[in-house]
Amino acid sequence: MSLVDLSFIIGGPQGGGVESAGQIALKAFVVKGYNVLGTREYHSNIMGAHSYYHVRVRDGPARALRTPVDLVVAIDAESVLTHVNYVGEGGYLVYDLDSVETDATKIASMEPSLRSRLRRFFESINMKPTVGSAVKVLEERGVRTVGLPLKDMLKKVSETLGAPIASIAKTVNVIGLTAGLYTLGVGLEYIVKAVEAQFGRRPKILAPNVAAARVAFEFMEGSFGSMKELPDGPHRGRVRMVASGNEVVAMAKVVGGLTFETFYPITPASDEAFYIEENKYVELGELSRRLELDRLPIAVLQTEDEIAAINMAIGAAVAGARAATSTSGPGFSLMNEAISMAVEMEVPVVVTLWMRAGPSTGIATRTGQQDLLHAIFSGHGDAPKIVVASGDHVEAFYDAVKAFNWAEVFQTPVIHLLDKYLASTITVLDEWDLDVGRISINRGLRVESPLEGYKRYEVTDNGISPFAPLGATTMVASSLEHDEYGFTSEDPVDREAMVEKRLRKFETMAKSIPEEEKLSVHGDPDARVTIVSFGSTKQPIISAMEELEREGVRVKFLQLRILSPFPSKTVSEILDNSDLIIGVEANSLGQLAFLVRAHTGIEVGHLIQKFNARPFYDVEIAYGVKRVLSEGARRVVVSGGA
Amino acid sequence: MEAVVVKRSSGGLRCFNCANWLPHVHYSFAGYCTVWGEVTFEDYYCSKHSMMSVDADRFYWCASCRVRLTREEASTHWVQGHRVVRGAYVDPDVRDEIYEG
Amino acid sequence: MVRRWADYKTEAWVQWCPGCGDFGILTAIQRALAELDIDPRRLVVVGGIGCSSRSVYYIRGSNMHVIHGRSIPVASGVKLANPELEVLVVGGDGDLLGIGGGHFMALGRRNIDITVLLFDNAVYGLTKGQAGPTLPAGAKTKALPYPNVQDRVNPLILAYASGYTFIARGYAYHVNQLKDLIKAAIEHRGSAFIDILQPCPTYNDMMTREWYEKRVYYLSEEDPLWDPRIRGPEDYAKIPRIIEKMLEFGDRIPLGVFYQDLTKTTLEDRFEQQMPGYRKAPPALRPISVDGRAPVHPFNVFKDKLVET
């Protein structure tokens, strides 16, 4: 059982330093020996709109976010008012004293609906909707409030340095986060180490940030006495990695053999492609040495649209590259026709699909799990393909490489399903989490020097034909129905043979992928209540199960990992052995429940859904399960998150 | 939207009311002096002070509403007591703090 | 052993209508390939959808027949994955300038060493003769119930504005001249574009052989000193006249090489510059694993993400 379990929120205007503050705060806890999980919630806006980091800290695994939190660092008025209901009793609010008079109705960047809700709330308790009122309300609830004289503190930093402040936003935020971390018992040395990890050791950057942290820390000691130190966590004394989902998948692709990546900028996928591009000319250990090159190239190209991105990746793949493209819902819609081509033409290509809140443009910067059915049924015609959904960062790492292997072994498009929550959530990883020794790279039946009379679409028992890249011999790869040589054919016998070949190939995929890679069962395998879900709900569900277990509620969790080909038989067996089935999905239509019913005939009788474009909290899932168990609720919609 | 009434420093010539000063876009107690080319605080003073007003035909920035204004709009905001300045200052390293949106 | 143009024929039945201009273009391509002695295994012909794109099956190579409008991005992916391949894009005006218009422009911006052959008949032949992007406004071919309400795009100016570094126009029935243009385009280092006027006897009864042959003339015949090559700033003075000639399309239609920019690097050059070794170890061919496993641990590559505790 976890001895330390803290949550905090750092809020502020976008572009105003929240990103650095969040990362530094996260890293300070990592340096102190804890596990962390932090996500960024932000608007589709370059600067000015409200954003916040929401972080969980534990000595055990930090699996999910939750509210209420133990600390809100709210450098601006909008942050105080937005998160007024998120701090729990005994927690802390750190805010700017000068913002006390600011009225919610005057905050230009605040969403009108939130403004109305705040006005109504404060009216109901006969107060004006100001930061000052919020502070009073929180104090009455047992929250300790810390007003920072930010301007004076910033001046003090400038005086200490003997120089003007180079980056106002960063400095203000370091002051805020240091004051906040003081309340959680994290001292200066950890913050300084985190600042180094974030910005490097360059004196020009380090000095003002260290000065800012010191000023804030001394202020807190002056006001509250010496800090009550949080003990060091158990994870000290080794090098760890702090990375987001976008970065982890990028890393996996780079070490997993990617040689060609295309992309069109789209949130939340572009950061993955950017990180690959930053590392596109990379030293790959033994591989570089064998090729006698210092570094090895990965071609990365930003295309004019998503249609070009997928088509270019297909061209590269048919030429023999290990190729991928990354996108989100709207871009994936554009890719549909080409995905159908990849099935017909039997092209090994990976599409990394980072789902976000839809439909249409939806909310570009927030999360959802609404493209499951779209991914599976993408592409017109009978176009079955592999769809794999990762539950967390570690799974995403291995799945990214497996996706390539499957694509090349089966010569099929593979959709790697992820979401914005995973993309922007930062976690801490250890060397053994990314066990590269386990990663085999399999290119299937690749022939570099085929014989005369090579048949690109040779009909075989398992449906897989030998794959020669373009340039190895004469051939045709065709998006029209074709004969074994690839030449277009409308002959009914040819047609039937090719359709059956592809069908057999899909069956081979189903048979070849081990069952334990298609799904996982967590918790008590004999429990009669089964949660069924896919994707990034994994860790929030497991965390909820830990809480439920403590209350004597036993459930098991069926996590679908390969959604196509769907493991119908195993899923049927598990669900047949259940008295109650509860689906957890971040969409409104119950897409996974639909899929389960379609493949097994079994009804997922209860659904816990969240579609306010915020990620699931573990407490919400526990709450939902309890409502199902106690009242038999058919549908529980949870709505936490600002 | 109702006005935010700005407390004008009584009898004081400060960066706060200087035409050459750009308050920081988020933390307006600090800002950038276009004459000296460095970051100062709103209550600093120097001999190059020039009183802020809405006159020339150019764009302005309303720090109360956090929005850019034409001269006409600026006059209206000024009269309503909003804090109107020539522009807002953005940190040179702001790109570090921006997410893909 | 030097190849002959028959070495670039396949066994597929060439299914175009009798009298189709595409026959002339196909012959010119095959002759050009033979004269350049290109190994068919290293030749990648990429076509989209339409009569002209079927050339993919009629030219012996390591070819791809892809979806409507997308042959340029597919071909770009092929070439960037393996710059040693000789990549040819074939398509009609609908495929390359209608649905594929955005990609047509993008290739010019990249200047990838690919040759684009536009079989320009101003109609969508395979789907029964609808107006194509190069059919002028008011034209009423026998396939159209009403005169065309949309005007034509000028492919040469479009190519110029996009950044193609070799721009030419040919005519399907001047097979030898077309063959020379195709050879020059293939040999050019960079994105090469030839607008090939192609009579469609089944659907375009306005722009027929007779119609074209009354109008076409060669730039180099009109002006024996015609030199479209831009080798440096000293040649920029040629541009206005080149553009004038590109705009000329009516009673007189010039043919030949309009423009050849020898100063620009290709995208492959820029990749090589940013990643020395790119041509030596191209994405399509370089090994990606060591003894079947990933070659390196992320902790040894992505050091910016590491934190010491």
Question: Which residue is associated with the tokens 């992320």?
Answer: C298
Q: Which fold has domain A519-637?
A: Rossmann fold (3.40.50)
Kindly list the residues from chain A whose CB atom is less than 8 angstroms away from the CB atom of residue B96. 19-20, 170
* Whether pLDDT at B101 is above 90: no
Q: Which of A 199-238 lie inside 8 A of C, CB atoms?
A: 235-238
Residue A45: Cβ within 10 Å count: 17
Q: Are residues B65 and A14, on separate chains, in Cβ contact within 8 Å?
A: no
Average pLDDT over residues C201-228: 96
Q: What does the pLDDT read at residue B7?
A: 40
* Centroid of chain to Cα A22: 16
Angle subtended at Cα A41 by Cα A271 and Cα A376, rounded to the nearest 5 degrees: 60
Q: Are residues B100 and A267, on separate chains, in Cβ contact within 8 Å?
A: yes
Q: Which of C178, C166, C169 is nearest to C219 (CA)?
A: C169
| Helix H or strand E segment including A124 | helix A112-124
Residues paired with residue A353 on neighbouring β-strands, in sequence order: A327, A417
Tally of domains within chain B: 1
Q: Which of A307, A423, A324, A301 is nearest to A364 (CA)?
A: A423
Whether A411 contacts A348, CB under 8 Å = yes
Q: Are residues A338 and C70, on separate chains, in Cβ contact within 8 Å?
A: yes
Q: What Rg, from alpha-carbon coordinates, does chain B have?
A: 14
Is the Cβ of A154 closer than 8 Å to some Cβ of chain B?
Answer: yes
Parent domain of C153:
5-270
Q: Which of A 371-390 lie inside 8 A of C, CB atoms?
A: none
pLDDT in tens, C139-167: 999 889 999 999 999 999 999 999 999 99
Tally of domains within chain C: 1
CA distance C92 to C157: 17
* Whether pLDDT at C81 is above 60: yes
Question: Which residue is associated with the tokens 């090939």?
Answer: C196
pLDDT in tens, B73-83: 999 999 999 99
Chains touching chain C, criterion 3+ CB pairs below 8 Å:
A
**Assigned domain for B4 exists:** no
Kindly list the residues from chain A whose CB atom is less than 8 angstroms away from the CB atom of residue B27. 16, 75, 150, 154, 168-169, 172
Q: What contacts B9, CB < 8 A, 6 or more positions away?
A: B16, B17, B43
Q: What Rg, from alpha-carbon coordinates, does chain C have?
A: 21
Q: Which of C189, C150, C211 is nearest to C269 (CA)?
A: C189
* Minimum CA–CA partner of B4 in chain A: A106
Kindly list the residues from chain A whose CB atom is less than 8 angstroms away from the CB atom of residue C61. 474
Q: What does the pLDDT read at residue C126?
A: 87
Answer whether A touches C (≥3 Cβ pairs < 8 Å). yes
With the CA atoms of A637, A638, A642 and B3 taken in that order, what torsion angle do they form, in degrees rounded to the nearest 10? Answer: 50
Q: Which of A 107-126 lie inside 8 A of B, CB atoms?
A: 108-109
Whether A347 contacts A339, CB under 8 Å = no
Q: What does the pLDDT read at residue B5?
A: 34
Whether B53 contacts B18, CB under 8 Å = no
Whether A342 contacts A369, CB under 8 Å = no
CA distance A46 to B26: 13
Q: Which of A80, A69, A65 is nearest to A9 (CA)?
A: A69
DSSP-derived secondary structure letter, A536: G
Q: Which of A381, A74, A166, C29 is nearest to B91 (CA)?
A: A166
**Assigned domain for C104 exists:** yes
Q: Which of A 330-369 lie inside 8 A of B, CB atoms?
A: 364-365
DSSP-derived secondary structure letter, A65: B
Kindly list the residues from chain A whose CB atom is less than 8 angstroms away from the CB atom of residue C271. 297, 299
If DSSP codes are grouped into helix, strand and coil, which group holds residue B54?
coil
Is the Cβ of A236 closer than 8 Å to some Cβ of chain B?
Answer: no
Cα dihedral sign, A591-A596-A598-A599: positive
Q: How far is A561 from chain B (nearest CA, A)?
A: 28
Is the Cβ of B5 closer than 8 Å to some Cβ of chain A?
Answer: no
**Assigned domain for C126 exists:** yes
Kindly list the residues from chain A whose CB atom is less than 8 angstroms away from the CB atom of residue C62. 470-475
Please tell me the total number of residues recorded for chain A in this structure. Answer: 642
Is the Cβ of A304 closer than 8 Å to some Cβ of chain C?
Answer: yes
Query: What is the CATH number that goes with domain A242-438?
Result: 3.40.50.970
Whether A133 contacts A127, CB under 8 Å = yes
Whether A428 contacts A35, CB under 8 Å = yes
Inter-CA distances, A110 with A106, A520, B61, Å = 9, 42, 18
If DSSP codes are grouped into helix, strand and coil, which group holds residue A484?
coil
Q: How far is A611 from chain B (nearest CA, A)?
A: 19
**Assigned domain for C259 exists:** yes
Answer whether C touches B (≥3 Cβ pairs < 8 Å). no
Residue C231: Cβ within 10 Å count: 11
Whether B10 contacts B3, CB under 8 Å = no
Q: What does the pLDDT read at residue B3?
A: 31
* Minimum CA–CA partner of C57 in chain A: A487
CA distance A213 to A200: 16
Q: Which of C 55-94 lie inside 8 A of A, CB atoms?
A: 56-57, 60-67, 70, 73-82, 84-85
- The crossing angle, in degrees rounded to 10, of helices A168-184 and A203-224 is 40
* Minimum CA–CA partner of B89 in chain A: A168
ipTM: 0.97
Interface size, chain A vs chain B, as Cβ–Cβ contacts under 8 Å? 108
**Assigned domain for B9 exists:** no
Q: What does the pLDDT read at residue A166?
A: 86
Q: What does the pLDDT read at residue A199?
A: 86
Q: What contacts A621, CB < 8 A, 6 or more positions away?
A: A531, A537, A540, A541, A543, A544, A584, A608, A638
Q: Are residues A296 and C286, on separate chains, in Cβ contact within 8 Å?
A: yes
**Assigned domain for B76 exists:** yes
CA distance A292 to A283: 11
Name the most confidently modeled range: A200-204, C254-258, C290-294: C254-258
CA distance B41 to B31: 6
Per-10-residue mean pLDDT of chain A, 642 residues long, equals 89 94 97 97 94 97 96 96 96 96 93 96 96 97 96 94 89 96 96 91 84 96 94 96 98 98 97 97 91 94 98 98 98 98 98 97 97 98 98 98 98 98 98 93 95 94 97 96 96 97 98 97 96 98 97 97 98 96 98 98 98 97 97 97 92
Kindly list the residues from chain B whose CB atom is less than 8 angstroms away from the CB atom of residue A103. 4
Q: Given A12, A19, A98, which is nearest B29 (Cβ)?
A: A98
Residue A603: Cβ within 10 Å count: 11
Q: What does the pLDDT read at residue A203?
A: 79
CA distance A176 to A194: 15
Interface size, chain A vs chain C, as Cβ–Cβ contacts under 8 Å? 279
Q: Are residues B94 and A15, on separate chains, in Cβ contact within 8 Å?
A: yes
**Assigned domain for C194 exists:** yes
Output b/e per residue, A310-334; b: 16+ Cβ within 10 A.
bbbbbbbbbbbbbbbbbbbbbbbbb
* Centroid of chain to Cα C58: 17
With the CA atoms of A596, A599, A605 and A610 taken in that order, what torsion angle do they form, in degrees rounded to the nearest 10? Answer: 20
* Assigned token pair, A268: 């939340």
Average pLDDT over residues B11-20: 89
Inter-CA distances, B20 with A158, B8, B76, C55, Å = 21, 17, 21, 68
Query: HSE (CB half, 13 Å, CA atoms) of B69?
Result: 25
Q: What contacts C237, CB < 8 A, 6 or more positions away?
A: none
Q: What contacts A113, CB < 8 A, 6 or more positions away?
A: none
Q: What contacts A640, CB < 8 A, 6 or more positions away?
A: A67, A614, A617, A619, A620
Q: Which of B96, A216, B31, A199 is nearest to C304 (CA)?
A: A199
CA distance A260 to A321: 6
**Assigned domain for C245 exists:** yes
If DSSP codes are grouped into helix, strand and coil, which group holds residue A340?
helix
Q: What does the pLDDT read at residue B11?
A: 57
Whether B41 contacts B9, CB under 8 Å = no
Q: What does the pLDDT read at residue B8?
A: 42
Q: How far is A434 from chain B (nearest CA, A)?
A: 26
Chains touching chain B, criterion 3+ CB pairs below 8 Å:
A
Parent domain of B38:
15-93
CA distance A446 to A17: 50
Largest CA distance in chain C: 82
If DSSP codes are grouped into helix, strand and coil, which group holds residue A206?
helix
* Whether pLDDT at B10 is above 70: no
* Whether pLDDT at B9 is above 50: no
Residue A231: Cβ within 10 Å count: 11
Is the Cβ of A303 closer than 8 Å to some Cβ of chain B?
Answer: no
CA distance C170 to A367: 53
CATH of A5-224, one of 3.40.190.80, 3.40.920.10, 2.40.110.10, 3.40.710.10: 3.40.920.10
CATH number at residue C79: 3.40.50.970
Cα dihedral sign, C52-C56-C57-C60: positive
CA distance A580 to A565: 25
Q: Which of A429, A417, A366 is nearest to A393 (CA)?
A: A429
Q: What does the pLDDT read at residue B4?
A: 34
Kindly list the residues from chain A whose CB atom is less than 8 angstroms away from the CB atom of residue B40. 164
In degrees and rounded to multiples of 5, residue C2 shows phi and psi of -90, 140
What's chain C look like in SS3?
CCCCHHHHECCCCCCCCCCCCHHHHHHHHHHHHHHHCCCHHHEEEEECCCCHHHHHHHECCEEEECCCCCHHHHHHHHHHHCCCCEEEEEEEHHHHHHCCHHHHHHHHHHCCCCEEEEEECCEECCCCCEECCCCCCCCCCCCCCCCCCCCCCCHHHHHHHHCCCEEEEEECCCHHHHHHHHHHHHHCCCCEEEEEECCCCCCCCCCCHHHHHHHEEEHHHHCCCCCCEECCHHHHHHHHHHHHHHHCCCCCEEEEEEEEECCCCCHHHHHHHHCCCCCCCCCCCCCCCECCECCCCHHHCCHHHEEEC
Q: Which of C 111-130 lie inside 8 A of A, CB atoms?
A: none
